[in-house]
Amino acid sequence: MSEHPLRGVARNNSLAALLTNTTYQRQADDHLNTYIERLTQLTPEVVREVMQRRFDQTRQVLVSVGPLVNQQPLPALDQ
């Protein structure tokens, strides 16, 4: 499993920025403590449903999600 989001925060200014963003986005008080647990509950169906609600389906949107490695070229759209 991935490390806790706060483990990667090494400097006070990084922690301050993280907390500022969390507050600005009006996240719940336990947002950082439950982040990994909520991520593990995501399913392709949930992601698909959110994308259908949030993205303009009349326009093309390409999303690539994966591990932190150099991105390989995506296949041609006609394949």
Q: What is the CA radius of gyration of the chain?
A: 17
Query: Can you give the pTM of this predicted structure?
Result: 0.44
CA geometry: angle at 45 spanning 44 and 46, to 5°?
A: 90
- Helix axis angle for 12-24 and 31-40, nearest 10°, is 70
- Position 5 scores a pLDDT of 58
Q: Which residues in 60-72 are b (16+ Cβ under 10 Å) and which e? A: eeeeeeeeeeeee
- pLDDT tens across 32-52, in order? 888 889 889 999 999 889 988
For 24-38, what is the mean pLDDT? 88
Percentage of the chain with pLDDT > 90?
5
